Structure formats: C-alpha cells, structure tokens
Amino acid sequence: MTALPRFMVAPNGARLTKADHPALPVTIEEMVACALACHAAGADGLHAHVRDTEQRHVLDLGLYAELLSELGQRAPDLYVQITSEAAGRFTPAEQRHLVETLKPRAVSVALREITADQENAVTRRFFAMCAEAMIDVQHILYDTADIAHLARLVAQGDVPRDGLKTLIVLGRYTTGQTSTPAEVAALAQRLKSALPDADWAACAFGPQETACLIEAMRHGGKTRIGFENNRLNADGQVAANNAERVTELATQAKRAGFA
C-alpha cells in the first residue's frame, strides 16, 4: 500500500451538476481531461465520482472500470481513488459490492455509512478483504465521534492498523458552508492522539479552503482540493476550473515552504 498523495483533487463530488459550474466534469471524457489538467497543475491524486447520463452520482462498475482504464493509460503515475459514497442513494451492501467486485487501487469510505446497521463481523470481513486485495482505504471522518469510532474499530481488530488512511472533513455539505483554519488544530490533534500512525489529509469548504489546507500541512497532513468542496479562489472569485484550484494550493504550499 502506498502513502496518500499530497495534493488530491476532488473535481465533482456527488451533488453538483453543470448548473453549478459549467466546468464540472460529469462524463468519462471530461473526467479524464480534468484529471490530466489537474495533474499538470500539480495534483498527484484524483478522488473520482462517476455520473450517469442525467448527471446523477452512481456506484457503477462499468463507468469506474472505464475511467480507471483510461487514466491508467494516460496518467499511470496519478494516484486514482474512487468513492463509495452513499449520497442518500446506496446501501452499505451496495457500497461493499462495488469495492469487492472492482477491487480498485484506492477507495474512500465514509465510516459512518459503511458501518451503518451492520454487525462488526461484516465490517471486519470487508476491511480484511480490502487489506488482502491491497486496496488503499481512506476513512472519511466528519467529527470527533467518527475519529473515536475508527479508533475503537482499529483497537478491536475490525479495521487493520497497518496502512491506515483518513480524511478529516472540515465542515459539511450544506449551503453556505464555510470552513476556517482555526478548525484544523483541534481535529488534527484529536486524530493524532487517537490514531498516531494514520496517514491523513483534510478537505474544506468556502473561500478559505486553501488556507485551511495549508494549515493542515503545517500539522503534518495532506490535502484534498477541488469543486466537490469549493469552487471559490482565496480572493472570493469563482475558479475557472479545478486545475485553477490546484494551482492556487500548489503555489501557496510552495510559498509556505512545503515544496
């Protein structure tokens, strides 16, 4: 298993459409073009959602297989992570089925979703399968309760400790959500106290997204940036595309000494 990328781009997410921003990628062709542009701008990882013909978030094996194949050929050094996000549409069983069947190199899993209404034995079998298949699992953590939950699962052996990867979400997917750098320190400290060996990243919402991610880097974390969480540059202007968001973060990280 490999380490998390420093700059992962999340270009579309599960909720937005082209009505929110015309440069939001929704087709495989658009996702590949966006990934290549962001890679050229400095992103070393991609967090990918696929959409159906009506721009709806789907956990579609065929679409993911096509995307992974295309990027494997055109950007073989790009770390590509699929999502298992429920988005109010999919059950834990459907999420597990996607991962168990596709066996991607990397997947993000919201801990509170994948463990909902199921026995610990099911959780243990799923994460053991991921470990055996050498699938990088990044656990999405929304608050201190999620951090404590993951720590319990690791302590009791339901989630493997080796290669543990996490994402701290600074805020929620709500209208007008704005994250601030002041939120980073407490959550980072709580995570490092509960799971000191975890490889972690952060994502944030609103015009202070870049500042939040630079603060995460100061605390030893990595970053996830892009239209899934925010479409505004630090000056409050709407970014032209995801590559512009990556460029801003890479530039600010270099200025802060994180070259």
Residue range 152-195, pLDDT digits in tens: 999 999 999 999 999 999 976 555 567 888 899 999 999 999 99
Average model confidence (pLDDT) across the chain:
95
Cα of first residue to Cα of last residue in the chain, in angstroms, is 24
* pLDDT at residue 175, as a whole number: 58
Could you tell me the fold of the domain covering 7-255? TIM Barrel (3.20.20)
The answer to whether the beta carbons of residues 191 and 168 sit under 8 Å apart is: yes
Nearest to 91 by CA among 77, 107, 105, 110: 110
Q: The pTM is what?
A: 0.95
* Gyration radius of the chain's alpha carbons: 17
* Domain ranges (residues) in the chain: 7-255
Q: Is 258 helix (H, G, I), strand (E, B) or coil?
A: coil
* pLDDT at residue 179, as a whole number: 85
Give the separation between CA 68 and CA 134, rounded to whole angstroms. 16
The answer to whether the beta carbons of residues 202 and 170 sit under 8 Å apart is: yes
> Looking at the DSSP assignment, which residues form a beta bridge with residue 109?
139
* pLDDT at residue 58, as a whole number: 98
Q: In the block, which residue shows the tokens 């603060």?
A: 215
Residue range 230-259, pLDDT digits in tens: 999 999 999 999 999 999 999 999 999 996
> Looking at the DSSP assignment, which residues form a beta bridge with residue 137?
107
